[in-house]
A and B are shown apart, each in its own frame.
Chain A
Amino acid sequence: MLAEAEGTVSAAIHAPTSGTVTAISEAIIPHPSGLPDMCITLTPDGKDEWTTLRPTDWRNTDKKELVASLRSSGIVGLGGATFPTHIKVRADGKSQVHTLILNAAECEPYITCDDMLMRERADEIVKGMEIVKFLLGAENCIVGIEDNKPEATAAMTEACKALPETSVKVVPTLYPSGDARRLIHLVSGVEIPHDKRSTDVGIQVFNVATVLAIYRYFALGEPSIDRIVTITGSVNSPQNFKVLFGTPLQTLIDAAGGVQSGTTHFIMGGPMMGFDLPTIDVPITKAANCIIAATPNLFAPPPPAMPCIRCARCADACPVNLQPQELYWFSKSDNFEKARDYNLFDCIECGCCTYVCPSNIPLVQYYRYAKSEIIAADKAKEAADLARERNEFRLARIEREKLERAQKHAERAASNKAESAKTESTKVAPTKAEDVKAVPATTESEQPASSTNTDDVKKAAIAAAIERAKALKAAAAQAGESQKKSDAITADAPDASGKPAQTEDEQAKAEQAKKDKQALIAAAIERAKAQKLAAAQAGIAPKNVEDASPAVKAEISEIDAIREKAKQAVKAQDSDSEA
């Protein structure tokens, strides 16, 4: 094994032949982006020797063990999607798969690798199917073959003859019947809901090449190191090859007799969904079901696109029953929300719409564009939401810091008081306290002059102010606790409140006492402030008497809301850091 599977959706890589690893570096990979990625370069020693192979007696082994061992088999879906197989058979008991469907419908025209495999290795495929059936705990097996492969159908029917609960079903050769959801519908009549997986309705689909690889892994101990590749187009002898993964494309082309003159580039995959290879210096990968040598004659560049005439041929051709002409309209005008409403994301990019378009509009490209734009916009929106949340939290923090500052002032004043109390007589303090109380008194006395009817307002305002002061007191208490932390963002209220219990008793008591004192002082100051404010408000708006009290209340609830948000933000921060 060269590389282990690290992430959840990843598969191991095995040395396809004997030799020496000569480089682990970035190299161009066969991907539409044409970007390089980390690759392992293996220089063969020419001996092509196996290590000791250890077959598994799968019938007498625990399923969990088998699945675990599949993880290091390197087997992925060989239909072209290369989804790691060990995930598909994960026996987590969540999905009850009752039917295993073998995808023997070639995914695109031009490709014949599965056809050849079935003609030559039907027995091994069926044995692999037995293993997968066992792993999944499925009861039925259906082999879905397109009707243009009579030889493969005969071979598979023969191989399946002895097996109970297994049937071979011939489906019409109508691209894209090799698409898993389409095939399921064709062979079983079940339409997988768009937001569910096939396993949710008890159906799992495997490609024939994949089950063959599974058979070889368990029965012979061979990991996944090769696949059948169709090479066609403008090569001298188009055919299917069993190709070791990592084989340079040039080697494969040479084996097919070289290219004919006029070949401009190579396409990986079929003519409907394939892509231009960035260069000829790429290896054959597990996804490479077909390589097409392209010439301008074979794939003429499309004529210039004409306007859509809404003929709806695309809608007739769409296997998902979308309205491509509407999606095109929305995608072209960047009306992405509408495109999404019209189920853009159900599009499987099969290319049927483009195939039948009289106006030569590259429809699929528009959908790819719209999809990527929507995904990007969603991500941006997520980021913006996060930023807004952060800003709200920041505002709350600023509010809190204001309170803290006020508290500090009060503290300082108190300590000044205490000092002066020490130096002067003890009688001073009560007078100071009276001063504080006097503040509302003076403001109150100012008010009645402005209006005769303010008494009610005032009462309401004062009541509100008291309420608010209470709220602020609580806030101040909270603030006092979180003040301990230098960074307000990492401060967490619940933790702070739980702190005293964790720390030593003395410290806790001292702190508690300090906090209590601070809170009291802060509350007193805030109360005074609030009363002053409320009184001022009452003074400003004596005319709309009825409105005054709700207005004050609204303000209070606003402050409460901010506080609540801050709390939640702190909590969110906590849970984030826990995660």
Chain B
Amino acid sequence: MNRSPYITDAPAVSIIMLKVLLALVPGIFAYVWIYGGGILVTIVLATFTALVSEAALLKLRQRPIRPYLSDLSAVVTALLLALALPPLAPWWLVVVGTLFAIVIAKQLYGGLGYNPFNPAMVGYAVLLISFPIVMTKWPAPLILAQTPLGFMDQLHFIFSNTLPTDVKIDAVTSATPLDYLKTQLMLNHEVSSITQAPIFGVWGAKGGEFVTVAYLLGGLYLIQQRIISWHLPTAFLATLAAMSLVFYTVNPAHFANPLFHLMSGASILCAFFIITDPISGPTTPRGKLYFAAGVAVLTYLIRVYGGYPDGVAFAVLIMNMCVPLIDMHTQPRVFGHTKN
């Protein structure tokens, strides 16, 4: 019998997923610091829903539960979705989004390895389309809120949608910079005056930019650990920067500068954690460049011209559809073959 090779040296899928989770830890810390502990509740809620629904579906599909649950892929999906949601998202929003991600986008397509779309982004897109008001209602960073909510207040808000009696909802929430920029531009304000608003920080959103930097650190860790290749983040960020630079150069009054686009919204999270999902992404090096560039272009276009403040989720899903085509046309030259 020929069953060679006899030796292997590869991290298990669960190790890879664990490292992705580890890489998210700095981001979560920053998140808690900026927006309060509510996000932890969201994470726990999403993780719990993901694991339970995954187990139920595996049971229905008559697949072994333990190896698939312990691969941690469901936890990664849950965490990414939780981090993409508004920090004080009501509990049902988290549950519905996670259920959709795990049940529809992942398990019904065949489970781990078979989902053509990024499950977290499917969950996010469904929520964004179905509940646009809740999804765009972001709490102000604690430093900006008139009356910062404590952890228990946040917990209360998440589960019963009620605030302490002396606090008004407007005192807690605010528009995100991307959202604010968009609406203000429609009122024919100039970018330079819009960004004077207190919600804008040095590079992106006040407070939010720290979370973004923490994601960046985690992402660099993933590259260093060779969990993700440099192709995707580099191509995404470079394209997004180049695109916004072109528009910014043409009309700085109407278009935000490249740095703002890189540091706002989900750009960094997308570059290092979302488009790097190997299952729904391309596999060839050249394909990764095209894919990431495509996501960046679409993200920018949706941000600037689309109906939603951030375009990452839709951009990723649209590019997910192109993956088979991209892979097919970017096959690298095989040793001893001429390029044709």
Contacts and interface: CB of A to CB of B under 8 A. Distances in A.
A381 interface: no
Contact of B283 (A109, A312, A351, A354): A312
B6 A274 contact: yes
Contacts of B335: 181, 185, 191, 194, 319-321, 346
Given A181-B336, A355-B8, A356-B10, 20 more contacts: A185-B335, A191-B335, A192-B336, A195-B336, A267-B6, A271-B6, A273-B5, A275-B4, A299-B7, A306-B112, A309-B279, A312-B283, A315-B283, A320-B334, A321-B333, A323-B332, A343-B334, A346-B336, A358-B10, A358-B16
A325 B5 CA distance: 17
Interface string B195-238: 00000000000000000000000000000000001000000000
16 contacts: A269-B4, A271-B7, A275-B3, A302-B8, A303-B12, A306-B113, A310-B278, A311-B16, A320-B336, A342-B331, A346-B335, A357-B10, A358-B13, A358-B16, A365-B2, A368-B2
Contacts of A571: none
Contact of B278 (A303, A309, A360): A309
A319 B278 CA distance: 21
Interface in B92-139: 111-114
B338 interface: yes
Nearest to B228: A311
A109 to B, nearest CB: 8
Contacts of A342: 331
Nearest to A277: B1
A423 B255 CA distance: 117
Contacts of A272: 4-7
Which 6 pairs across A and B sit closest by C-beta, in order of nearness? A307-B113, A351-B5, A194-B336, A299-B6, A312-B283, A32-B2
B95 to A, nearest CB: 26
B67 A294 contact: no
Q: Tell me the dominant secondary structure on chain A's binding face.
A: loop
Contact of A275 (B2, B10, B284, B337): B2
A193 interface: yes
A192 B73 CA distance: 42
B116 to A, nearest CB: 11
B8 A323 contact: no
Interface string A27-50: 000001010000000000000000
Chain A interface size, as a band, is 35 or more
B9 interface: yes
Interface string A75-94: 00000000000000000000
A322 to B, nearest CB: 6
Interface string B246-284: 000000000000000000000000000000001101011
A276 B334 CA distance: 31
A308 B71 CA distance: 12
B5 A354 contact: yes
B334 A321 contact: yes
B67 A304 contact: yes
Given A193-B337, A346-B337, A355 B5 contact: yes
Nearest to A192: B336
Interface of A: 32, 34, 109, 181, 185, 191-195, 267, 269, 271-276, 294, 299, 302-304, 306-313, 315, 319-323, 325-326, 342-343, 346, 351, 354-360, 362, 364-365, 368
Contacts of A192: 336
Given A194-B334, A346-B337, A294 B13 contact: no
Nearest to A357: B10
B307 interface: no
A323 B112 CA distance: 20
B7, B12, B278 — most chain A CB neighbours (10 Å)? B7
A44 B334 CA distance: 51
Contacts of B279: 309-310
Contacts of B54: none
Contact of A326 (B229, B278, B283, B333): B283
Contacts of A343: 334, 337
Given A193-B336, A310-B113, A323-B283, A362 B331 contact: no
B11 A358 contact: yes
A307 B12 contact: no
A311 B281 CA distance: 9
B4 A351 contact: yes
B310 interface: no
B331 A355 contact: no
A321 B67 contact: no
A321 B337 CA distance: 10
A357 to B, nearest CB: 6
Nearest to A175: B5
A49 to B, nearest CB: 39
B337 A194 contact: yes
Contacts of B16: 309, 311, 358
Nearest to B16: A358
Contacts of A351: 4-5
Contacts of B338: 193
Contacts of A303: 12
B8, B15, B73, B279 — most chain A CB neighbours (10 Å)? B8
A306 B67 contact: yes
Contacts of B71: 306
A306 B73 CA distance: 12
A321 B284 CA distance: 10
Contacts of B9: 355-356
B331 A276 contact: no
Contacts of A273: 4-5
Nearest to A352: B5
Interface string B10-25: 1111011000000000
A274, A312, A313, A315 — most chain B CB neighbours (10 Å)? A312
Contacts of A306: 13, 67, 71, 112-113
Contacts of A365: 2-3
A342 B330 CA distance: 12
B278 A312 contact: yes
Contact of A310 (B281, B331, B333): B281
A192 B7 CA distance: 29
B113 A309 contact: yes
A310 B283 contact: yes
A185 B278 CA distance: 31
Interface string B321-340: 00000010001111111100
A87 B198 CA distance: 82
B242 to A, nearest CB: 26
Nearest to A304: B67
A554 B206 CA distance: 83
Contacts of B327: 323, 326
Contacts of B2: 32, 275-276, 365, 368
B284 A315 contact: yes
Contacts of B283: 310, 312, 315, 323, 325-326
Given A308-B113, A326-B283, A364 B334 contact: no
Contacts of B334: 194, 320-322, 343, 346
A299 to B, nearest CB: 4
Contacts of B67: 304, 306
B336 A311 contact: no
